[in-house]
Structure 1
């Protein structure tokens, strides 16, 4: 079993096209979901819908619940389809449509009654990014599996941080000075403009997924 130093391992992993394809997909899907569920989802729901923080947190929790319950389902579906790539394409495409509906069609304010199922389904679809970890291991030397998965995992967290920053910057850039209870009020239009970047992130993941090499699952 070949042994590689850290620098050599990173160099070898970074030289594989499949590493970057999976890193981009993971960044686009995981970054968008984590940015919304971890930072901007609650203030968005509070300011746009007038929910309490508890109510808003419960809706965001449904997205996280979709992620939790969707994980094993994704594995089962990948086995049935016999192709991880196909499921990544479907999931990333559907998540892109989710953001398009929420931010463009519904103008960042879908009817309240659709929020619960919408967020749950979005979480269930977005979790297809976990398949990227298996994909990237198959693209690299077996001795570099850990380095490869760690490499793309970093991309996911960097994307989350970057999207958080971009959304915050875009909110501040169009802020009109309004305040509510000592907090900057951005409103529906502000959040709609700021979160459009989530569509770009998901769409980038979708387009990139089309270039993934087919990885058949042995049954």
Structure 2
């Protein structure tokens, strides 16, 4: 029969090659987390090597998050223009260069700008990965694929703790960053040679018709100006922004940087022992998104999930204050697991809430805008935590458990504020209050 290009006559099917695509994209985002979390076990080494304060070390580590946050909205546009294969390959090459420069940095200034380059390079990995999944996976499997990427990324926190601590003790932190740069470069090559943006790029059929149900036409994206106006002009966007800003600030400033110095100073742990506790953050990171996805499917109120999760994190911070310096090893493990679970687990619910609150035509724009805020929170709170610790006056003699109490009080307060923002958020508010005048129908 002659070939026709109509959806009715074209064959569709999900190729097994999609699992290789998913594996490579997941590994790419795992490397994003390794680069993001590695300062936690290396903070003491960095302070000693550069002979600097906690505040400056926090600023140096947070340099990763400034370009990462700023690039989220443009990253979605670049993903549309370049596709996942070219954009992620470029990202890996830029991050490789930044990691090499960081490894050879002779000053804080050089190290800061090297981390900026790493953050810039890794800023556009998740969004193009999700874009590729929309072509390689049927719609009913997309949530599963997206959850797998987040869950595997959590393993990056595991790699950035005990294994990295062991490697840095074996070959030094500079050589460890060189090894990480090499792994990032190899991953970039694998993406270039093995990943394709769409099945049709390999002569494979599309997984399903790319059309809106019942219309026969692909739904056009909403103009950027209109999308920005609808998002930035609504209360619910800023409630999600507050929730995610404080969530990311707490999670990445502690688990991503100051947890190592805390466990070593408050409990007399070695770097490797502290990394063993930090591993539990990552296990919460791995299973948290999957468990919260299961909860969200059976518990339709997004506001209650967001509110209760951050309220729970605030209670965990109060637990940390009350038991500061006196936890048993098992209690430390339980604390770290709870912290990672409540901190990282509900992130997918927040993204889902943003998509449900606004028209589907602006889903990409609002997702990119919302994702700015956890990265911005990280950029602010890593150096802010360093300033708070510097105020103890014990950086030279060694931090103690008491030196961290002001920081933990701050974490508890902003957790409850974020929880309140979650409770106030509503996904149906926009349906009740139109954002623009409706046109009279003919």
TM-score class, shorter:
0.7 to 0.9
In structure 2, what is the equivalent of residue 106 of structure 1? 323
In structure 2, what is the equivalent of residue 4 of structure 1? 223
The 2-side partners of 1:154 and 1:67 are apart by 20
Report if the CA contact (8 A) 2:221-2:362 is conserved: no
In structure 2, what is the equivalent of residue 209 of structure 1? 422
The 1-side partners of 2:341 and 2:361 are apart by 31
In structure 2, what is the equivalent of residue 89 of structure 1? 307
Report if the CA contact (8 A) 1:16-1:140 is conserved: no
Cα displacement (A) at 1:17:
1.5
Query: In structure 2, which of residues 338, 345, 358 is the aligned counterpart of residue 121 of structure 1?
Result: 338
Query: In structure 2, which of residues 413, 417, 427 is the aligned counterpart of residue 200 of structure 1?
Result: 413
In structure 2, what is the equivalent of residue 182 of structure 1? none
What are the equivalent positions in structure 2 for 1:45-194 lying under 5 Å apart?
45-103=263-321, 105-107=322-324, 109-126=326-343, 127-176=345-394, 178-179=396-397, 185-194=398-407
Q: Structure 2: any 5+ residue segments left out of the alignment?
A: 1-219, 429-442
- Taking a change above 3 Å as real, the CA distance of residues 177 and 52 of structure 1, as seen in their structure-2 partners, is closer
TM-score by length of 2: 0.45
The 2-side partners of 1:74 and 1:22 are apart by 17
Q: Which has the higher contact order (CA 8 A, sep 6+)?
A: 1
Aligned residues: 208
Cα displacement (A) at 1:51:
0.7
Report if the CA contact (8 A) 1:30-1:129 is conserved: no
Cα displacement (A) at 1:214:
5.3
The 1-side partners of 2:354 and 2:427 are apart by 12
* Partner SS state of residue 175, structure 1: coil
The 2-side partners of 1:196 and 1:212 are apart by 25
The 2-side partners of 1:167 and 1:188 are apart by 14
List structure 1 segments (4+ residues) > 6 angstroms apart after TM superposition.
none
- Taking a change above 3 Å as real, the CA distance of residues 109 and 207 of structure 1, as seen in their structure-2 partners, is farther
Q: CA RMSD in A?
A: 1.8
The 1-side partners of 2:405 and 2:383 are apart by 16
- Taking a change above 3 Å as real, the CA distance of residues 138 and 52 of structure 1, as seen in their structure-2 partners, is same
Structure with higher Rg: it is 2
Which shifted more, 10-19 or 71-80?
10-19
- Taking a change above 3 Å as real, the CA distance of residues 177 and 117 of structure 1, as seen in their structure-2 partners, is closer
* Partner SS state of residue 196, structure 1: helix
Report if the CA contact (8 A) 1:174-1:190 is conserved: yes
Cα displacement (A) at 1:10:
2.8
The 1-side partners of 2:258 and 2:409 are apart by 13
